[in-house]
Structure 1
């Protein structure tokens, strides 16, 4: 029987999960109970339930969240955006960015420990399966040290099979956000060659998820994710973080040690850490703010009849004996930017219409003059952005009464997400022509539930030149 891997005391100068020879040290975080652990578990299960259920919940005839790439439509809780409205994604992306900046400046890495999909699925799904099959942290380390027996093969092999199935389920549900549940079931029922692109995507995505959650794990947070490195620029001494009260805890010593601080150096906070750090060494890049060390330390403090809070949520200013300032320039600026962005986003969403209208002048001469009229020619492009057929009507409100129009007189019938380009010829009798003017082109549905307006410039020659030309022709042909 191999010797179990000894306890490795973390050092903030190097990554705990990498040994001196460069090999990987696999972590087996110990189980922990407590207020934060229970709250984080419930919030994690809630997030997972939301992720799994959104493609199944119909809202307005479509799934609650359905990013229909094939038909260029995005259905979000009953609100439909056409492909032409993808510019609104700018507000979503920047809103997430400023929201994350604000939350980090205020509450530290709350996102990482409580809501990041990496943490949620790893801690509340994959590691739960691992604990169920292989036992607690001590038993898992003992299993690592054991030779490959039939029982070890069954346990490890069964775990890997379950991991792969879970990864496949997550990957399929992810695809459902883009193709819908019904279409996903059709793809799964047919031969892989029938929908080879979707099959390849699911296989690759499943493999990536399996590799990540079965082997890579905390290395994604430490090596790949840039958020931990950004935190040094986003937080300050008044941001809420998880830390160790060195004033109260030092010097460390076992129970009964004279003049020792509150910390009994049991290393329980290290044993439960999912990234293998020692929070007593200060705030570190690897800390994801999961609060496992808080519950672990509070549990130990209860057992030794000492006050809780040796490891706790607080600001660096609070740990130093000062007062945390929640309102400060950093949080105020982030909050203002977030509110401004939200206001502009609401306004932008209010401008979304179920159709699109564009007017361009026909190539060639900007206008034509005959003996009777001045003529302008336009191309009108109409797009139906809804998921049902619609009939649209073009009107020219406020146009001069003498203006004659050819084209789009009877309206346009368009299929869902269809578009049509029609010619619109406008003619002004020379006797009523007073020079160029701006006209309004209005697009409305037949029921009159919405309208959309664009402006166009009716151009022509200078009226004095036109009148002089008319006089010359009259003199030539009396």
Structure 2
């Protein structure tokens, strides 16, 4: 476990505020309800994805695909523009590792020189106890994105599925404790896949945390002549959560947390030299070239991101609240009624994707001479509910040929302008079968 030295400065203060804002969002969202439904919930048992008042079902995975594409393009766009800003400012691994490390420092303390002091046993126990308690709270809210936090706590309180719920909570708590308390940025340094392909997303004009070697080298103590601005204090290494030396150039372990910027600026202020020896800058700027924010890579990512957002919005606007399937009963191809007419049975599967109930009227558009017989019509479909109904289509013998299309029209009584049409086929006996039955009669 790496223990970075604490540092104060402009970026440190900004990151602390950002951390608490992100944690507040993470903790508040599972408790928010819109018309009784969760704001964001990936409900795996019910196979529903709730997002900002919209319910996405398994048949609509393209919505989730569009969301994931937009998020990926946003990551590409901001990485090309500002480097690993996600890693340093918004990644849960960085945010919670930072908070856990801060709690450890408050309990265990640090020496005036900034090094971790020898810790009494009770302080070490208190630190781990605090981490476990924090992990339990974090785990509860993480679970709240996959299972209603109200139902989860209710299950624990009423002991309904309490054993399974408690075991799951304990398991997620253990993962949070090990990850944020013990592993921390070791994950970023050795295991995170994003660090491995960042070189594909970055270019020389991307903003990164970089050391100005032209100004800082040759490094040495302040009293030495003909030395650069770097006093070789090693503070930039001591404050780095991944333990790298930023003076060696851009490295995949760097998460752009800006700790080294604040540390170096503090040293520069004390020795009376110009700040920003380490700063947010592009590699092109270090070589004396102009940095272009708008360049082909950034423009392409930006256009694709906007296009994906427009596609998602357009798809949502055109989305019909009813999902339905018409299935002809295949156990009996057709039925002959007592009056000689031919009937076909159909099963209707209707799913309401909306958060409010809808009433649909069913009518038969084709064949024109056929009759629709339904036990219940119109049909009431509850919010996010599913209804299965059986209907009959009956026609005079010989009026409708076998294989003729059967066209059902479903009309929302609150919105008659957007009917839904589904087709199936009608099965009737062949003409020679009818003639044989007539002669037999």
The TM-score with structure 2 as length reference comes to 0.87
3-state secondary structure, aligned to 1:143: coil
The residue number in structure 2 matching 1:392 is 360
1:126–1:430 distance in 2 versus 1, CA, 3 Å: same
2:163 to 196, 215, 218: 196
- Give, in angstroms, the shift of residue 175 of structure 1: 1.8
2:340 pairs with 1:347: no
Deviation digits for residues 384-426 of structure 1, max 9, x if unmatched? 3455655432123x54653322225622344554433333333
The whole-number CA distance in structure 1 between the counterparts of 2:342 and 2:38 is 53
Q: Are 2:127 and 1:159 equivalent residues in the alignment? A: yes
State the secondary structure of the residue aligned to 1:184.
Answer: helix
Q: Cα deviation per residue 1:24-66 (whole Å; 9 max; x = unaligned)? A: xx43322222221111111111000111111223322233223
Deviation at 1:366, TM superposition (A): 7.0
Contact 1:393 1:445 in 2 (8 A): yes
Q: Does 1:211 align with 2:178?
A: yes
Q: Which residue of 2 aligns with 1:242?
A: 209
Cα RMSD of the aligned pairs, angstroms, is 3.3
| CA gap 1:127/1:326 in 2 versus in 1, 3 angstroms | same
Q: Which residue of 2 aligns with 1:267?
A: 234
| Deviation of 1:153 (Å) | 0.9
Indicate yes or no: 2:282 matched with 1:315.
Answer: yes
How far has the Cα of 1:432 moved from its partner? 6.3
On the 8 A contact 1:29/1:137 being kept in 2, the answer is: no
Tell me the CA shift for residue 237 of structure 1: 1.0
Is the CA contact 2:347–2:390 (under 8 Å) kept in the aligned structure 1?
A: yes
Cα offset, 1:294, TM superposition: 1.0
In structure 2, stretches of 5+ residues that fail to align are: none
Query: Is residue 133 from structure 1 mapped to residue 107 from structure 2 by the alignment?
Result: yes
Q: Distance in 2 between matches of 1:310 and 1:154?
A: 41
Answer whether contact 2:357 2:382 (CA < 8 A) is retained. Answer: yes
Residue 73 of structure 1 corresponds to: 48
SS in 2 for 1:289: coil
- Look up the match of 1:46: 21
In 2, the alpha carbon distance for the partners of 1:394 and 1:142 equals 74
**Greater mean deviation of Cα atoms: 432-441 or 411-420:** 432-441
1:300-349 Cα distance to aligned partner (Å, 9 max, x none): 21222222221111111111111112233322332233233222222332
Match of 1:281 in 2: 248
CA 1:317–1:243: 2 relative to 1, 3 Å? same
The alignment partner of 2:144 has SS state of helix
Distance 1:453 1:128, change over 3 A: same
How far residue 138 of structure 1 moved from its aligned partner, in angstroms, is 6.0
Match of 1:23 in 2: none
Name the residue aligned to 1:177: 145
Local SS of the residue matching 1:88: helix
The aligned residue for residue 257 of structure 1 is: 224
Q: Aligned partners of 1:137 and 1:459: how far apart in 2?
A: 86
Pick closer, same or farther for the CA change 1:306–1:443 going to 2, 3 Å: same
Alpha-carbon separation, structure 2, partners of 1:456 and 1:61: 36
Determine if the alignment matches structure 1 residue 441 to structure 2 residue 408.
yes
TM-score using structure 1 length: 0.81
Contact 2:358 2:383 in 1 (8 A): yes
Match of 1:33 in 2: 8
Q: Matches of 1:402 and 1:247 in 2, distance apart?
A: 89
Aligned counterpart, 2:371: 404
Matched, 1:325 2:292: yes
Q: Distance in 2 between matches of 1:48 and 1:357?
A: 41
After superposition, residues 293-312 of structure 1 pair within 5 angstroms as 293-312=260-279
CA contact (8 A) 1:242 1:313 kept: yes
Per the alignment, residue 22 of structure 1 pairs with: none
Q: Cα–Cα, structure 1 residues 367 and 334, in superposed 2: closer, same or farther, change >3 Å?
A: farther
What is the alpha-carbon distance in structure 2 between the residues aligned to residue 142 and residue 106 of structure 1? Answer: 36
Q: Residues 354-393 of structure 1: matches in 2 within 5 Å?
A: 354-363=321-330, 377-386=345-354, 390-393=358-361
Per-residue displacement from partner, 1:445-464 (whole Å, max 9, x unpaired)?
44447855133155579xxx
Tell me the equivalent position of 1:143. Answer: 117
2:360 aligns to what SS in structure 1?
strand
3-state SS, counterpart of residue 128 of structure 2: helix
2: CA distance, partners of 1:381 / 1:292: 58
Residue 437 of structure 1 and its aligned partner are, at CA, apart by 6.3
Give the C-alpha shift of residue 373 in structure 1: 6.1
**By how many angstroms is 1:239 displaced?**
1.2
Distance 2:422 2:33 in 1: 39
Q: Distance in 2 between matches of 1:409 and 1:399?
A: 20
Post-superposition offset of 1:364: 6.4
SS at match of 2:3: coil
CA distance in 2: counterparts of 1:303 and 1:289, whole angstroms:
24
**Gaps in structure 1 of 5+ consecutive residues:** 1-25, 147-151
* Greater CA drift, 423-432 or 77-86: 423-432
